[in-house]
Amino acid sequence: MCTNAPTILLGGWGNYPLAECRLHRPGTLATLKKISPLHENGHLIARGLGRSYGDPAINASHNVVLTDALDNLIHFDRDSHIVEAQAGVSLQTLLDVFMPRGYFLPVTPGTKFVTLGGAIAADVHGKNHHRDGSMVSFIIDLQLLTASGEVLICSRDENREVFWATVGGMGLTGIILSARLKLLPVATAYVTVDYHKAANLDEALEQFDTGDAQYQYSVAWIDCLASGASMGRSVIMQGNHATMNDLSERQRENPLAPRRGRALPMPCHAPGWALNPLSVKLFNAAFYRKHKNGRKVEHYDPFFYPLDGVNDWNRLYGRRGLIQYQPVLPRETSRTALVALLELLTRSKRASFLAVLKSYGPQNDGMLSFPLAGHTLALDLPYTGRALLELIEAMDRIVLEHGGRLYLAKDACMSRATFEAGYPRLAEFKQLCRQLDPRGKFSSSQSRRLGITEAIA
Ligand SMILES: Cc1cc2nc3c(=O)[nH]c(=O)nc-3n(C[C@H](O)[C@H](O)[C@H](O)COP(=O)(O)OP(=O)(O)OC[C@H]3O[C@@H](n4cnc5c(N)ncnc54)[C@H](O)[C@@H]3O)c2cc1C
C-alpha cells in the first residue's frame, strides 16, 4: 500500500458520508501510470472535482486519485468541432476557451465545476436530454487506463463493451485519461427563455408534453411544499440558443462573452436550522410570485448554472450536509409516482430547498447510464440522520413500484436491493469489470456498499 499519500477526510458535494481516504494527485500522465495502488495490492477510484453528492468519488481506507491536474486541451478540429482533452479538464475551462470561438457544450449538468472524466463516468445529462440525450451522445471516443496498466481506446466501434460500461460506469472500469467531444456551434452566448407558470403538477407535465418539441432546453423548478390543488406548482423554463437578432444592443457588443460576474462566497457552514420548512416555504412562495410568464434573453451562465453563483453553496446545509435524491420514473407511471413522492414529502414536513423536474428522452446503451424516457425529480434534503434515511427508504419503495431508478451520481444511501431492481444490466456490467479487473483494484465506497464490487477484507 502507498506510504507517502496523505490521508484526509473526504466527502462528495453533499458532505455525507465522509471517509478517511488516501489521496493521490498525479501532475502528469507518466506519474499517474506509476501510482502505487495500480501496481501493488491497493484499491483506487478516480475523482474529478468531487461534484457527485454521495460516495462514488470516495474510498474509505483506500485510495482516491485526483485527476484535476491532468487537464490539458490536446487538439481541436474546426471542421468537425471535435475537441480532444485530458479527462481532468473542467467544463468551465472548455466554456472559457470555446465560447468566445462560438462553441457551447453539447450537454451540461447544472454546474460547470465538473471534469470531462466525471461527466463521462456519470454520463451526465442536462436540460436537453429530451432532445439530445446524455453526454455520451457527443463522445467520439475515450482513452481508458485499465487495471492491467493497458490503455484502451474505446468507442462505439472499438472496445465497444468497455465503452458502454465506462459511460455511466462511475470509474469502475478504470481511469479515463482523455476523450474526444463534439462541441455545439452557437451564434451567441445567450438563450431565449420562455417562462411558464404551472398551477400544479398536471399543468407542469402538460407544459413539458406540449412545449418540449419546440425547445432544446426544458426544466421546471417545483415548489415541493405546495399541497392540495397547488401540489407541484412550478415555474417552467424552456429555451433555445439565441441568435444575434434576439440580443439587445448591449448584448450584441460582446455576443460570445463566456462568463459574467464573480461568484459570491459562502465562507462557512450555515447553522443546521437555517434551512427549515418555514424558510423554504417563504423562499418558494417568493420565487413563484417573482416569476412572470413571458420571454427573457439570458446569458447562458445564470440559465445553466444558477447555483454556481455562490461558491461552496453546499455549506448552506450545515456541517451534517445533504442528500440529493434523484429518481427517474418512466413516462407511463411518472405522474402517479410524482404525486406519491410529493405527498410523502409534504406529509413528512421536510423541505427541499431545491426541487427540479426534467423530462428525459430514450435511454442509451450505457450499462449503468441513468436516464430513461420519463421524468426525473431532484430534491436536496438536509441530512438529519435516521429520520431522513427512513423517509428515503419510503421514497425508494415508491420509485421501485413505479419502475424507476435512482441516479448513482447523487446516491449516498441506496440499498443493494433498490439498486439491483433499477439497473437490469448490472450483471453484464459486473462481468465486464471482472474481466478487465480480476483483482478488483477499482472500487469506491459506493461500489462496495451497492455490491457492484466485492467487499474488501
Ligand atoms: C450543483 C450541481 C448540479 C448538478 N447537476 C447535474 C445535472 O443537471 N445532471 C447530471 O447528470 N449531473 C448533475 N450533477 C452531478 C455531476 O454532474 C456529476 O456527479 C459529475 O460526475 C461530477 O463530476 P466530477 O468531475 O466532479 O466527478 P466526481 O464527483 O469527482 O466523480 C464522479 C464519478 O466519476 C468518476 N470519475 C471522475 N473522474 C474520472 C476519470 N477521469 N476516470 C474515470 N472515472 C472518473 C468517479 O470515480 C466517480 O465515480 C450536479 C452536481 C452538482 C453539484
Rounded Cα distance, 50 and 57, in Å: 6
Site to substitute for ligand 1 among 94, 107, 124, most atoms within 8 A of C-beta: 124
DSSP helix/strand/coil, 128: coil
Residue 324 in contact with residue 313, Cβ under 8 Å?
no
Distance 119 CA to ligand 1 centre (A): 5
Nearest CA to ligand 1 atom 51: 51
Q: Which residue has the higher pLDDT, 258 or 297?
A: 297
3-state SS, residue 333: coil
Percent with pLDDT over 70 in the chain: 99
pLDDT tens by residue, 205-237? 999 999 999 999 999 999 988 889 999 999 999
Sequence ranges of the domains in the chain: 73-186, 190-415
Which atom, in ligand 1's list, is nearest to the CA of 13?
53
Question: Is the minimum distance from the CB of 168 to ligand 1 under 6 angstroms?
Answer: no
All residues at 6 or more sequence positions from 404 whose CB lies less than 8 Å from its CB, including other chains: 327, 328, 329, 330, 333, 334, 337, 374, 422
pLDDT for the residue 269: 82
Q: How many CA atoms lie within 13 A of 229 on its CB side?
A: 1
> Average pLDDT, whole number, for the chain?
94
- Domain 73-186 is found in CATH 3.40.109.10: no
DSSP conformational letter for 269: P
**Separation of 227 CA from ligand 1 center, angstroms?**
33
Q: Atom 17 of ligand 1 has which residue's CA nearest to it? A: 109
pLDDT at 2: 46
Q: Is 309 in the pocket of ligand 1 (CB under 6 A)?
A: no
Banded pLDDT at 3 (limits 50, 70, 90):
low
Give the pTM: 0.97
More confident site: 279 or 14: 14
Ligand 1 atom with the smallest distance to the CA of 446 is 49
For residue 85 and ligand 1, the question of a CB distance below 6 A is answered with: no
Q: Convert 162-180 to b/e letters by CB count within 10 Å (16 or more is b).
A: bbbbbbbbbbbbbbbbbbb
Look up residue 265 and give its three cell numbers.
462566497
User: Does 118 sit in the ligand 1 pocket, CB within 6 Å?
Assistant: yes
Rounded to whole angstroms, what are the CA distances from 32 to 8, 74, 328? 19, 17, 36
> Is the Cα dihedral 170, 174, 179, 182 positive or negative?
negative
**Which atom number of ligand 1 is nearest to the Cα of residue 313?**
1
Distance between Cα 26 and ligand 1 center (Å): 19
CA distance 366 to 201: 30
The span from the CA of 70 to the CA of 25, in Å, is 9
How many helices (H) does the chain have, and how many strands (E)? 15, 20
Q: What CATH architecture is 190-415?
A: 2-Layer Sandwich (3.30)
How far is Cα 143 from Cα 90, in angstroms, rounded to an integer? Answer: 17
